[in-house]
Structure 1
Amino acid sequence: MPHLVMEYTGNLAIDVQPTLQRLNQALVASGHFEENAIKARAVRLDDYLVGTASEARRAFVALRLAILSGRTVEEKKSVSDLLGAAIQKDQHWPKDVQVQITVEIVDMQRETYFKVSLQ
């Protein structure tokens, strides 16, 4: 915990590892998560559609952060804002493409979440 999933459309040239590093650093900086507990991954989407326009003209990055339940709305909003700022930093967005960025915070039920760390 937490689990961060970054989905992005294939018409964006995102340098994945530095971007995930920046997102993880933002999560650590929030003060809510231990560095070694963050699990981040990226999923490139080659089959997608935004509205009805040509896929070459539109794109998106969707961040979904699953965290254990119990945090306040204010804490979740703060983390959402940090991730939103971090995903925009140092990116080279195409000038002729409308890019939509979203951040969603999802609660995982603390009572049913299982985790074990093996060496």
Structure 2
Amino acid sequence: MPHLTLEYSNNLASFSPALALAALNTAMFDSGLFSEPDIKSRAFALEHFQVGIRPAPRAFAHVRIALLAGRSEAERKELAEAVLAALRSAVDAPTGAEIQLSVETVDLDRGSYAKAVLNG
């Protein structure tokens, strides 16, 4: 735990999802809430998306952090702010474009979460 999912519009110029995930994982680890091997992340480029209703140069990136229930609101808020700062550093805003960045945390039910670690 946790699972981090980055969704981003595929019109983000010069965006490197690999570099973004590395920065996001570092922010997660630096929070002190998770052990290093427990942080899992993935990124999905969205080919079909719309921001607003008017044609304009717009893009977005959204991070969803799923973690086991039990973290305080303050811990989740601090984590979201740290991950947002890391995301900001990974996204360049071209002149004249609007890029919206957001982060949310979602609690997973401890009672129904199952995990196995295989070592070969």
> What TM-score results when the alignment is normalised by the length of structure 1?
0.95
CA distance in 2, matches of 1:9, 1:53: 16
Deviation of 1:51 after TM superposition, in Å, equals: 1.2
> Is the aligned partner of 1:111 residue 2:115?
no
Q: What are structure 2's unaligned runs of at least 5 residues? A: none
Percent identity between the aligned chains? 40
> Is the aligned partner of 1:77 residue 2:61?
no
Between stretches 11-20 and 21-30, larger displacement belongs to 11-20
Mapped contact 2:8–2:46 kept (Cα < 8 A): yes
> Is the aligned partner of 1:20 residue 2:21?
yes
Specify the alignment match of 1:87 in structure 2: 87
Between stretches 85-94 and 26-35, larger displacement belongs to 85-94
Specify the alignment match of 2:47 in structure 1: 46
Kindly tell me the number of residue pairs found equivalent between the two proteins.
118
RMSD, aligned CA? 1.1
> Is the aligned partner of 1:58 residue 2:58?
yes
Helix, strand or coil at the partner of 1:65: strand
Mapped contact 2:19–2:90 kept (Cα < 8 A): no
Specify the alignment match of 1:29 in structure 2: 30
Q: Which runs of 4+ in 1 moved over 3 A?
A: none
Deviation of 1:91 after TM superposition, in Å, equals: 3.0
1:36-72 Cα offsets, whole Å, 9 max, x none, are 0111000000100011122x61111010000000010
CA distance in 1, matches of 2:54, 2:118: 47
Helix, strand or coil at the partner of 1:77: helix
> What TM-score results when the alignment is normalised by the length of structure 2?
0.94
Specify the alignment match of 2:2 in structure 1: 2
Supply the AA of the counterpart residue of 1:48.
F
Helix, strand or coil at the partner of 1:89: helix
